[in-house]
Amino acid sequence: MIRFLLNDQDVNEENCAPDTTVLEYLRTKVEQRGTKEGCASGDCGACTVVLAEATNGQLRYQTVNSCITLLGSLHGKQLLTVEHLKEQGALHPVQQAMVDLHGSQCGFCTPGFIMSLFALYKNCDQPTRADVENALAGNLCRCTGYRPIIDAALSLAGKGASDIFTKSEASTYLRLTGILKQHPSGFIEHGARRFLIPTNGDELLAQLQRFPDAKLVAGSTDLSLSITQQLQQPETLIYSGRVQELMQIEESASTLKIGAAVTYSAMQSSLHKYFISFADMLERLGSLQVRNQGTLGGNVANASPIGDTPPVLLALDATIHVRSPNGRETFPINTFFTGYRQTKLPASGFIESIEIPLQPECQLYVYKISKRLDDDISAVCAAFSIALKDGKVNDVRLGFGGMAATPARALNAEQALIGQSFTEQGILAAQKALAEDFSPIDDVRASGAYRLKVAQNLLLRAVLEQDNPTQEALEVVQYA
Ligand SMILES: Cc1cc2nc3c(=O)[nH]c(=O)nc-3n(C[C@H](O)[C@H](O)[C@H](O)COP(=O)(O)OP(=O)(O)OC[C@H]3O[C@@H](n4cnc5c(N)ncnc54)[C@H](O)[C@@H]3O)c2cc1C
Ligand code: FES
Ligand code: FES
């Protein structure tokens, strides 16, 4: 059985298919149809709902796309939808602002916008325009009417985040922690199909061994697409989002270790401390809804050639910690990806954590090149870690995505950089060597020739940026 709160109502569910999405549950089982389906693939935000979770003594409100969120992952959380915001018939301040400033146009995307603005209202008392844009980047308005929506969001600045949920926050917190105390783990099942929620690594390993065909699911931002787009019906799903060991972030003097089930949003502040350019790039990975759900372990396990974190982890020389029936193993990340979407992960194994060495002598440059600034997949992602000694390149790792069948290092270009000055002249041989490292393909995102040119130019960009850390002169601030 799983238990969660649907607004203030206690819900127990047991007999449900493991691949039921929250959107499907809302619209068909409980018949609350305010939440809309646009794309069913996490792209448009029409289905945005808010999940409240009891964390560190308070409730944390986060948006997710309900079309790619699996019902089982709600265990121990509060699910809030657009139906729940009114108080005694009066609109929530966020809804009222949208009415007053004419933010609701087509009406279909509006519930999603409202829920994104509601989460912003709960999390940020004085949102800037950048905060608003960040909160709304995953909500598509096809009639391009963003201005009144942004105006509505900005009109709420400083109005105080007090609402019906504030009044019940303490009791909601106790109810959620009570659920997890009573039922730390959970499951749903339907016939011979099941969704399991282990709470520690031993349980997870035992379940993966018991169900060898099971799919491990973390944020489900990728796996759900096989359900909603390819109509696959997995028999067993095992959820990593409650496995304590996989949820930790450990900072030591020499490394930063991030649990595989830590979400992008949850690791942002640690990354910001040690690797600002990585943290900055992450703000362009998917949308806020995707970052609130998607995990580092999922991104690495996916082994997508266009995933955004593997190139950075390659440049940072990360280590992948894996647990399987063989025991615990570690893999340097440059040996982990073995082919298109293939890794060295053993059968019935899982990634426990990703460990990044802290190397203060290295400068990290991270670039994501995509057609749109927000919520878009990379054509090329590049990350360079470079240490200079006496003005010459002494240590270098160049990680790339979008250039080959796997995320990969540019070993020839690295070799060509060693001992050179990190200048326009000094990188010429390395730029040339990139053509030996990679023969990128043409696809919908970019041509192979474009990818190679961009990769070469990004090296130059790093050279130009080394004395211009604010990057202002190089930032694209206006689009035609
Ligand atoms: C709208 C949208 C935009 C996106 N934009 C981007 C983007 O800009 N850049 C980008 O890189 N990605 C993007 N993605 C892809 C996706 O968000 C990432 O790949 C994400 O990191 C996957 O993590 P997850 O936790 O959601 O994984 P899941 O979907 O839960 O799982 C993905 C795969 O990883 C496996 N897995 C998960 N955890 C583990 C583990 N601990 N051990 C072993 N295997 C594991 C699962 O079995 C599954 O095969 C986007 C997705 C969507 C829907
Ligand atoms: S329906 Fe488009 S993001 Fe969910
Ligand atoms: S207001 Fe809905 S698409 Fe623009």
Residue 290 beta carbon below 6 angstroms from any ligand 2 atom: no
Percent of the chain with pLDDT over 90: 90
- Whose Cα sits closest to atom 43 in ligand 1? 350
Q: What is the pLDDT of residues 27-37, one digit of tens each?
A: 999 999 999 99
The atom of ligand 1 lying closest to the CA of 376 is: 8
Give the three-state DSSP class for 137.
coil
CB atoms within 10 A of CB 462: 22
The verdict on the CB of residue 207 being under 6 Å from ligand 2 is no
Q: Does the Cβ of 245 fall within 6 Å of ligand 1? A: no
Across the chain, mean pLDDT equals 95
- Return the best residue to mutate from 216, 257, 281 for the ligand 1 pocket (most ligand atoms within 8 A of CB): 216
Give yes or no for residue 144 having a pLDDT over 90: no
- Give the pairing type, strands 255-259 and 408-409: unpaired
Q: Model confidence at 479, in pLDDT bands (50, 70, 90)? A: very low
Best mutation site among 99, 116, 141 for ligand 3 pocket (most ligand atoms within 8 Å of CB): 141
Q: Cα–Cα distance between 224 and 245 in angstroms, integer?
A: 24
Q: What is the reported pLDDT for 217?
A: 98
Q: Given a cut of 70, is residue 167 above it in pLDDT?
A: yes
Taking residues 192-215, report their average pLDDT.
Answer: 98
Burial classification of residue 303, based on how many CB atoms lie within 10 Å of its CB (0-12 exposed, 13-18 middle, 19 or more buried): buried
Average pLDDT over residues 103-129: 94
Residue range 120-131, pLDDT digits in tens: 999 998 999 999
What pLDDT band is residue 105 in, cutting at 50, 70 and 90? confident
With bands split at pLDDT 50, 70 and 90, how would you rate the model's confidence at 340? very high
Per-residue confidence band for 145, with pLDDT thresholds at 50, 70 and 90: confident
What lies within 8 Å, CB to CB, of 13 at 6+ separation is 1, 2, 71, 188
Mutate to test the pocket of ligand 2, among 27, 36, 44 (most ligand atoms within 8 A of CB): 44
Distance of CA 141 to the CA centre of its chain: 22
Summarize pLDDT for 425-460 with one digit per residue, the tens.
999 999 999 999 999 998 999 999 999 999 999 999
Which of 37, 44, 105, when mutated, tests ligand 3's pocket best, judged by the most ligand atoms within 8 Å of its CB?
Answer: 105
Q: With 60 as the cut, is the pLDDT of residue 117 above it?
A: yes
Cα(429) to centroid of ligand 1, in Å?
A: 36
Q: Is 37 in the pocket of ligand 1 (CB under 6 A)?
A: no
Cα 282 to ligand 3 centre (Å): 27
The contacts of residue 423 (CB under 8 Å, 6+ apart) are 463
Starting at the edge strand that comes first in sequence, how are the strands of the sheet with 78-80 ordered?
9-13, 2-6, 78-80, 48-55, 58-65
Is the pLDDT reported for residue 74 higher than 50?
yes
pLDDT higher at 479 or 469: 469
What is the residue-wise DSSP string for 201-223? HHHHHHHHHHSTTPEEESS-TTH
What three-state secondary structure class fits 338?
Answer: strand
Looking at residue 204, its pLDDT comes to 98
pLDDT confidence of residue 88 = 87
Residue 468 has pLDDT above 90, yes or no: no
Quote the pLDDT of residue 472: 53
- Confidence at residue 471, expressed as pLDDT on a 0 to 100 scale: 54
Average pLDDT over residues 71-91: 96
Tell me the pLDDT band of 470, cut-offs 50, 70 and 90: low
Asked if the model's pLDDT at residue 148 lies above 50, the reply is yes
Ligand 2 contact, 39 CB (< 6 A): yes
Q: Whose CA is nearest to atom 12 of ligand 1?
A: 307
Q: Is 101 in the pocket of ligand 2 (CB under 6 A)?
A: no
Residue 305 pLDDT exceeds 90:
yes
Closest ligand 1 atom, residue 218 Cα: 30
CA distances in angstroms from 195 to 95, 265, 349, listed in the order given: 35, 25, 18
The answer to whether the CB of 24 is under 6 A from ligand 2 is: no
Task: Identify the residue whose C-alpha is closest to ligand 1 atom 23.
Answer: 298
Ligand 3 atom at minimal distance to the Cα of residue 143: 4
Question: How remote is the CA of residue 354 from the centroid of ligand 1, in Å?
Answer: 15
Measured from the CA of 145, which atom of ligand 3 is nearest?
A: 4
The percentage of residues in the chain with a pLDDT greater than 70, rounded to a whole number, is 97
Using a 10 angstrom Cβ sphere, with 0-12 exposed, 13-18 middle and 19 or more buried, the burial of residue 88 is exposed
Tell me the pLDDT band of 142, cut-offs 50, 70 and 90.
confident
Q: Is the CB of 138 under 6 A from ligand 2?
A: no
Please identify, by atom number, the ligand 2 atom nearest to the C-alpha of residue 67. 4
Residue with CA closest to ligand 2 atom 3: 42
Residues 6+ apart with CB under 8 A from 419: 392, 393
Tell me, in angstroms, the distance from the centre of ligand 2 to residue 142's CA.
13
Q: Which domains does the chain have, with CATH numbers?
A: 2-83+166-239 (3.10.20.30), 88-162 (1.10.150.120), 254-357 (3.30.465.10), 363-467 (3.30.390.50)
Confidence at 469, pLDDT banded by 50, 70, 90: low
pLDDT of residue 415: 98
- Closest to 363 measured CA to CA, from 291, 440, 417: 417
Tell me how far the alpha carbon of residue 61 lies from the centroid of ligand 2, in angstroms: 19
Q: Is 43 in the pocket of ligand 2 (CB under 6 A)?
A: yes
Per-residue pLDDT at 129:
95
Ligand nearest to the CA of 221: 1
| Ligand 2 pocket: which of 43, 63, 70, 139 to mutate (most atoms within 8 A of CB) | 43
User: Over the stretch 308-330, which tens digit does the pLDDT of each residue have?
Assistant: 999 999 999 999 999 999 999 99
- List beta partners, residue 369: 380
